[in-house]
A = this chain, B = another copy of it.
Amino acid sequence: MHVPTLSIVGVGLLGGSIALACRQKKLAGRIVGYDPSADALRRAADRGMLDEATDDVCRAVARASLVVFCVPVDRIAEVVGACAEACRPGTLLTDVGSTKTAIVRRLAGRLPPGVNFVGSHPLAGSEKTGPENARADLFEGRLVVLTPVGDPPAAVWTIGDFWRALGARVETMSPEKHDEVLATTSHLPHLVASVLAGVLPLEWKRLTATGFRDTTRLAAGSPELWRAIFLCNQPALLAAVGDFQAHLERFRDALAKGDGERLRLLLEQGKYVRDSLSEP
């Protein structure tokens, strides 16, 4: 795998980590970075991850062989649409968005001939943001989900190769299935962590320990990014929240009735699932 010119649109945590990983693995001949924030561009450049930094997104993609869009999910389709005309035929486009249906369906059939977009979602990240937190090993051993919809097989294969070269495993599914699953495995935990943090009276914070901190870690994520993710995956996330509410009510009911045997069974089931998750 070799990418003559890699363009990264949005040099935050994910874009920066892609750049660092490509540097370390010598995957790209040249790395061009765009960001709407001059400060983020400078911090990315300071870490030596870019050969060229520009605040002109069309210039950033004009000579690219592969462009990775690392902007908030509610902006991806718009930014891809705005850039696509500036790309040479043969340019491959992908993204890192945590929701897929709205993006992929909006772009399907609307790109110039020879320019292909294949949706990607690397299941990797951090509550920390910005290129200063980027890590070359962020994708090592992680899963990347591709959500092709009628794209040329060679395009899908190349995007998969790219992620595999960064150390990731790759799986393919429909954007709708992706969004249904991720609503439960990623978006719901974020929402739940934020609810839990939100009910803590601040004067009790010295009485929290590692349990509260771990369970609420995700709540430290960017409200702006996560609001966009929640809204872009609204129907599937509402269904996941409904499942959570129904299951929570089972716990509450068993507790209210003092039904120890039912509480134990509910806790056993949660433990069974949690114990079955492999460590990262």
Chain A residues near B (Cβ < 8 Å): 123-125, 142-143, 145, 171, 181-182, 184-186, 188-202, 204-221, 223-224, 226-227, 230-231, 234, 237-238, 240-245, 247-249, 251-252, 255-256, 258, 260, 263-264, 266-271, 273-277, 279-280
Contacts and interface: CB of A to CB of B under 8 A. Distances in A.
Quick one: copies of this chain in the complex?
2
A36 B224 CA distance: 53
Contacts of A217: 211, 214-215, 274
A138 to B, nearest CB: 11
26 contacts: A123-B208, A185-B209, A185-B212, A186-B212, A189-B211, A192-B192, A192-B196, A193-B274, A194-B267, A194-B271, A196-B270, A197-B270, A198-B273, A199-B244, A202-B273, A209-B280, A214-B218, A215-B218, A216-B277, A223-B264, A230-B255, A234-B255, A241-B252, A245-B245, A245-B249, A245-B252
Interface centre among A143, A193, A242 (most CB of B within 10 A): A193
- Which DSSP category, helix, strand, loop or mixed, fits chain A's interface? helix
Contact of A194 (B186, B243, B245, B266): B266
Contacts of A190: 211
